[in-house]
Amino acid sequence: MKNGGMKKTASSSSPTNDSISRRALFKGATAGLLTGGLGGCSGKVSVSGILGEPSSGAKRGVRKGRINQSVVSWCFADHWSVHETCEQAVKLGCKSVELIATEHWPELKKHGLTCAIATLPVDGPPFIKGYNNPEYHDMLLEVTKKTIDDSADFGCPNVIAFTGYAEKFSPEEGAKNCVEGFKKVAGYAEKKGVTVCLEMLNTRDDSDPNKGHPGYQGDHIDYCMDILNAVGSPRVKLLFDVYHVQIMDGDVIRRIRQCGDMIGHVHTAGNPGRGELDDTQEINYPPIMEALLEIKYKGFVGQEFIPTRDPEQGLAEAVELCDV
């Protein structure tokens, strides 16, 4: 069987084994209720608690470490300082805090962390003015090369990039302009050993500017991959944001396999809502992480969800879920 790779045998479905399994589950559930006590119970019993959620004293976070995990700084800025974000990352076994201004990189270094992908120091949201508009090329080349220099010195492997909003450009014109722009920076990125990662963003969710980007031109994986293939550089790759891909294209695992080594960075979030990676959303993250391992992806997975409850708990759950 594909789920877990276990083959079902005749004995596994026998009445005796079924009854033993039911007794074992009931025994575990009863023990959990007795241990937790009934006096403070609100009438709800957590299934995750019955089935083995870590106790309050257990160490949370990475155990297997086959996926390199990162904390996306902006998501937690309303809850933690940079120092506190670094502390949370270290506590959970993450190796990076990303999309954070270079002025904070010394704080990362103090905690033994890297920055998995660098943001661009531009005025306003960086995804609006992109390579699809030649008027922005000189500005983008200047700030991108500066960020590449900083990244090479610090050991940051990636710098983010965007198509920009469509404005007056047709999809064909926008793609052509993007190819021309990325070709101008590709050689410099190759020389410095830093990868420029083009992010695909969804245009469907108009509920919040942090959840969707109506008007963004690179809103489909195939469109972005066509641009990257035309550029043809090993240092210009795709930022595969699972949340955005799920909304616009779906078929996430097949697309991971198709993109293969053109994936330079990965982001997560729950859909709908860009919240936690819990059972209130539809994306099944463990098999997606397995697909990344299948294609021998060695980069980072950045946790980029917007907390709707205790951020420490939500981040710990996300990190553990992706630690396959």
CA–CA gap between residue 39 and residue 301 (Å, rounded): 41
Mark whether 276 is an active-site residue. Answer: no
Residue 59 confidence (pLDDT): 87
The β-bridge partners of 161 are: 198
Q: With H, G, I as helix, E, B as strand and everything else as coil, classify residue 70.
A: strand
Distance CA 164, CA 174 (A): 9
pLDDT mean by block of 10 residues, the chain; 324 residues:
37 38 36 36 36 63 98 98 98 98 98 98 95 98 98 98 97 98 98 98 97 98 98 98 98 98 98 97 98 98 98 98 98
**The one catalytic residue among 98, 199, 276, 320:** 199
- Strands across the sheet containing 96-98: 96-98, 68-72, 300-303, 263-268, 236-241, 195-199, 158-161, 117-118
Pairing of the two strands 263-268 and 236-241: parallel
Q: How far apart are CA 180 and CA 66, in angstroms?
A: 36
Q: Which of 276, 304, 317, 320 is an active site residue?
A: 304
Alpha helices in the chain (DSSP H): 15-36, 47-50, 82-91, 105-110, 137-154, 171-192, 221-231, 242-248, 252-259, 285-294, 311-322
Q: Identify the pLDDT of residue 40.
A: 36
Expressed in angstroms, the distance from the first to the final Cα of the chain is 18
The identity of residue 70, as a single letter, is S
Is 199 designated active site? yes
pLDDT of residue 57: 66
Residue 292 three-state SS: helix
Per-residue DSSP letter, 261: G
**Distance of alpha carbon 269 from alpha carbon 274, whole angstroms:** 5
